[in-house]
Amino acid sequence: MASTSRPRVSGALTPLWFVLLALVWGSSFLFIKFALVGLSPGLIVLFRLVLGAVTLIVVVALSGGRLPRDRRYYAHMSVVAVLLCVAPMMLYATAGQTIPSGLMAIYNATTPLMTLVIGLALIPSERLTPFRAFGIVLGSAGVVLVLGPWQLFDGSSDMHGTEWAQLACLLGAASNGVAYVWLRRFVTGRFRYDAPTVAATQTGLAALMMLIPAPFLLAQPFHLTPLIVVSVVVLGVFSTGIAYVWNVVVVREWGATRSSSVLFLLPVVGVVLGIVVLGETITWNQPVGGAIAILGILVSQGVIGLRGRGGAERTQSSPE
């Protein structure tokens, strides 16, 4: 089977790739808001996936690799393409029409919690340990606090009427979770392809899927400005493309546990950029609930508390 050579980068530059990864993935929600000024959610996803796929395929080609030919691999990766690319990207872009970018970033950080819950339900070997159970309860309480049910029915609250947008973000995180479980159960261990090849495959398949409704999407009114074009390029080339290569480098140099800490920087970057650049307002319950949800994730993964065999697999947050 084909294998793509991983890029050789000095370990001294790893902190730089880590910071760039946090900035690019954390700012993706800001650029979604910029792009929504002139593009529909569907067009944003279409352009983003096409640019991301081209970028990753070029990376694979330049590093001496080639795309797989195994039909079974493509069958499983088609499912991943829907669950990890098309569905969550569309859900977050749609939600961005209604809720702040910082709130989207907070919801995206719940992906590991969703992955754990779904993994327990679908993978027989996964066991519900006391720490996992406590982490799930704590994380779920944090999600509810972020949602702020009392605000949804308060006509004077900025969050009034945003329940569907917030639900879309939760569904996006859940879709990511199902995708990671699918990868673990049906792809990892069965097919030995490196991360850039897997990323190029799933993004390429997702881009092909989005070409089906492309004529309809392009027929809708839209307009482009320099800022919108830059936003789409950042989302496609960097957030969906090059950032995955940076992630491979960081994981290789620092290991999965240390590199996964980038997850906890994404909502911080997203919230700060939303406040500073867009003038968004965040209510007290959103960062507090996000912090509690992240604490629940850390407990369920064994990072806080007793470490044991039952520790959950650490899963990167997926940038949307």
Residue 67 has pLDDT above 90, yes or no: no
DSSP 262: G
Between helices 163-182 and 87-95, what is the axis angle to 10°? 160
306: in domain: no
Domain hosting 194: range is 11-300
316: in domain: no
Q: What is the pLDDT of residue 98?
A: 93
> How high does pLDDT run on average in the chain?
86
Look-up of token digits 């793509």: 4
Q: What is the pLDDT of residue 311?
A: 44
Q: What is the pLDDT of residue 211?
A: 97
276: in domain: yes
98: in domain: yes
How many structural domains compose the chain?
A: 1
268: in domain: yes
Question: Cβ distance 118 to 126 under 8 Å?
Answer: no
pLDDT tens, residue by residue, 225-270: 999 999 999 999 999 999 888 887 887 787 766 676 787 888 999 9
Lowest mean pLDDT among 4-8, 11-15, 161-165, 177-181: 4-8
The residues, ordered by sequence, that sit 6+ positions from 84 with a Cβ below 8 Å of its Cβ are: 175, 176, 179, 180, 183, 202, 206, 318
CA separation for the pair 51, 237 (Å, rounded): 6
Lowest mean pLDDT among 33-42, 186-195, 300-309: 300-309
Q: What is the pLDDT of residue 7?
A: 47
312: in domain: no
105: in domain: yes
Of 244, 243, 251, 257, the closest CA to residue 303 belongs to 257
64: in domain: yes
pLDDT tens, residue by residue, 119-172: 888 888 888 888 889 989 998 999 989 888 877 666 656 676 788 999 999 999
Query: Please, which pLDDT band fits residue 5 given cuts at 50, 70 and 90?
Result: very low
Residue 186 has pLDDT above 80, yes or no: yes
Q: What is the pTM of this model?
A: 0.86
